[in-house]
């Protein structure tokens, strides 16, 4: 469906904000498109001796507020439009949490589940050889995303340093701790989201200790959301989780740690003892206080939005809700915490990692989490104040805050 093209969705969301802000035509048109994008083919020698050609991308969307920043996704369905959309969302995400970075994104069309560690290393290094001259701490800084991890970042950093001949730990974030990674990066996306949920529940006068919640998508962010919800909010009952192979439900509550252990042991959440099966689609429509969509784009659409019963939706995934669904959920009174606010904890701690790398001094875990809490709380307050002032849904409020900041930077530079 054309309307589910992620980049067209990103452009539609921008258009709504541009109209509300009264942006001039040139500024709006400038912000609709990436400043730079790179596409390349990567021939990789596989373990069986055959060469396989992969397609790679890097989009530097806007650098008015600082070097572009954004993850690298390895996914069989990766396309240039997906990467463009994610780069645009990263631009607004960095602006909404008010960190001095622009937005970028990268990807490779591949299925890492079918690749060995040696094949992944060859692909990681080939990617950097293809685009490394366009990266750097003052230019464009990648990070982990779907199906990439700290080890892949380590290989990429090593290849970049080999190309340049000296140490550059800040050229990539999400690295292992011994190579300059930051404390607190592993759970940052989910932790930031739960901080935002805490603030939202406070405005609703809801006791966070009594909340029920469900998690759709049980990768890194989803697993941490399952545990951190109860840890940060002082309570709460996890009743359902799902991954790409199905879901489980127990209305009396699931033990998050035991479910994570089961997932790591078996590769899926299905067949967890004491649970019943539930589909991803049905999980989204459960009657819960908080729903965490933590999988991929377009999970909540115009087709199923009317059946959503959650009071709060915290978008840990990028783009899980379509514009048509946004309007329906707003009308229903659902408190939707949009991705560019809710999952900005990851890029915020990535920024902290860049800062630590740059001046070669590293913070404690308590320091990182305290700074993250402050950044996320300030961002929520700015977006919520905009939402109350303009009487719009929270995604548009977040866009109004972010786009205004980026447009101002573009104008101050004399670009438009």
Q: Which residues are catalytic?
A: 105
Question: Strand 102-109 relative to strand 335-337: parallel, antiparallel, unpaired?
Answer: unpaired
Sorted by sequence, the CB contacts under 8 Å of residue 305 that are 6+ apart come out as 321, 324, 325, 328, 329, 332
Nearest Cα residue to 95 out of 371, 412, 409: 409
Residue 215's DSSP bridge partners are 241, 292
Query: Residues 149, 179: contact at Cβ < 8 Å?
Result: no
Residues contacting residue 225 through CB under 8 Å, at least 6 positions apart? 190, 193, 194, 215, 292, 294, 314, 316
Element (H, E) at 217: none
Q: For Cα atoms 2, 215, 329, give the angle at the middle one, nearest 5 degrees.
A: 50
Q: In angstroms, rounded to a whole number, what is the distance separating the alpha carbons of residues 83 and 27?
A: 22
Rounded Cα distance between 332 and 245, Å, is 30
d(CA 305, CA 322): 9
Region of 40 on the Ramachandran plot (φ > 0 left; ψ -120 to 50 alpha; else beta): beta
H or E stretch covering 278: strand 276-278
- How many Å is the Cα radius of gyration of the chain? 20
């Amino acid at each position: 469906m054309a309307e589910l093209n992620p980049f067209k969705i990103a452009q539609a969301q921008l258009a709504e904000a541009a109209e509300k802000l009264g942006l001039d035509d040139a500024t709006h048109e400038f912000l609709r498109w990436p400043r730079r994008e790179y596409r390349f083919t990567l021939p990789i020698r596989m373990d069986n001796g055959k060469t396989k050609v992969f397609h790679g991308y890097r989009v530097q969307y806007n650098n008015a507020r600082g070097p572009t920043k954004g993850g690298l996704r390895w996914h069989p369905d990766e396309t240039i439009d997906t990467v463009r959309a994610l780069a645009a969302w990263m631009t607004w995400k960095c602006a909404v949490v008010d960190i001095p970075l622009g937005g970028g994104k990268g990807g490779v069309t591949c299925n890492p589940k079918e690749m060995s560690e040696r094949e992944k290393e060859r692909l990681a290094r080939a990617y950097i050889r293809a685009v490394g001259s366009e990266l750097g701490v003052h230019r464009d800084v990648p990070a982990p995303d779907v199906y990439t991890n700290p080890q892949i970042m380590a290989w990429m950093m090593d290849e970049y340093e080999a190309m340049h001949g000296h140490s550059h730990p800040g050229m990539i974030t999400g690295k292992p701790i011994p190579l300059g990674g930051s404390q607190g990066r592993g759970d940052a996306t989910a932790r930031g989201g739960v901080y935002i949920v805490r603030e939202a529940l406070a405005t609703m006068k809801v006791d966070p200790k009594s909340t029920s919640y469900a998690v759709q998508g049980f990768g890194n962010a989803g697993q941490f959301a399952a545990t951190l919800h109860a840890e940060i909010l002082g309570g709460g009952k996890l009743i359902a989780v799902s991954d790409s192979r199905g879901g489980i439900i127990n209305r009396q509550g699931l033990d998050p740690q035991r479910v994570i252990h089961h997932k790591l042991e078996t590769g899926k959440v299905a067949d967890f003892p004491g649970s019943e099966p539930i589909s991803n689609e049905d999980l989204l429509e459960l009657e819960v206080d908080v729903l965490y969509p933590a999988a991929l784009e377009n999970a909540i659409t115009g087709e199923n939005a009317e059946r959503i019963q959650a009071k709060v939706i915290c978008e840990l995934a990028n783009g899980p809700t379509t514009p048509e669904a946004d309007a329906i959920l707003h009308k229903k009174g659902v408190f939707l915490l949009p991705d560019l606010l809710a999952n900005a904890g990851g890029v915020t701690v990535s920024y902290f990692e860049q800062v630590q790398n740059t001046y070669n001094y590293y913070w404690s875990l308590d320091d990182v989490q305290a700074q993250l809490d402050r950044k996320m709380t300030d961002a929520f307050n700015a977006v919520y104040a905009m939402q109350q002032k303009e009487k719009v849904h929270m995604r548009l409020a977040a866009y109004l805050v972010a786009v205004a900041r980026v447009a101002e930077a573009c104008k101050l530079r004399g670009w438009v």
